[in-house]
Amino acid sequence: MPADVPAELFLIGDSNVIAIAQAADDRGLPWWGGPLAAGRMLEEPFWCIEGRRFVYTAEGAGPIRARFEDLLVFDGPVLTTLGFNSHRFTEDFARYARAQDLPATPEALSRAAFADTVRDARRVALEFYRMLGEHGREVWFTCSPQRTALGLYPLLHAFEEVLIPEVAATGARFIDTRDAVMDGASPRPEYANPHDAMHASPALGALVLDRLAARRAGRTAPV
């Protein structure tokens, strides 16, 4: 296996991780971890550290806790989607704006107030990325599959334009697939899970893995 392709991956995040896991399975690439929970369940503190052991503390986690215990000692890249359940933010913000008789756009607030709202909404995710950085992990992250209700794309894009640099400031590195996924104002169907309105297909997971390998090899051109 080429040196730029990891021998193993640690996947952790919301249900958007599933498409990456499916793509890794298709390639015979071993992975650890997986999806923790739906994104909304990860907006409150969900872990503690016991020595070098990562303990997933969400109520009802049960046997899946063991899948994440080695997060802080895993010898390889950590790939995560945490914080990028972007459709949920857009829907919640739109609901709030309309209740206040405001437009469901970022301009409903000042630029500074909107950025503060994003940071507050994803404060737990940002703390998670900081924790990984403090433990010396090689962390990569990717954004959402760019799926949301019609008319809310400006809001989704504005949310991610705030959150991406905030996460990158923790030392995590961004795998950007938006240029390939978006076809004008809407996502390309081949990257969308046909069975629901929010998740990605394994084709997007494969693209993330390709770009991870390219970035680790020092290539910057899209693949």
Residue-wise pLDDT tens for the chain (223 aa)?
A: 444 556 789 999 988 899 999 999 999 999 999 988 765 667 788 899 999 999 998 877 778 889 999 999 999 999 999 999 888 899 999 999 999 999 999 999 999 999 999 999 999 999 999 999 999 999 999 987 877 777 888 999 999 999 999 999 999 999 999 888 887 767 788 887 777 766 778 899 999 999 999 999 886 545 4
How far apart CA 191 and CA 198 sit, in angstroms, is: 11
- End-to-end Cα distance, the chain: 18
How far apart CA 223 and CA 17 sit, in angstroms, is: 20
Q: Tell the residue number behind the tokens 């359940």, with chain if given.
A: 85
CB atoms within 10 A of CB 96: 14
What domains are there in the chain, each with its CATH number? 9-216 (3.40.50.1110)
How far apart CA 159 and CA 215 sit, in angstroms, is: 24
Are 205 and 23 in contact, with CB atoms under 8 Å apart?
yes
Q: What is the CA radius of gyration of the chain?
A: 17
pTM of the entire predicted model: 0.90
Task: Measure CA 44 to chain center.
Answer: 16
> b/e for 123-133, b at 16 or more Cβ within 10 A?
eebbebbebbe
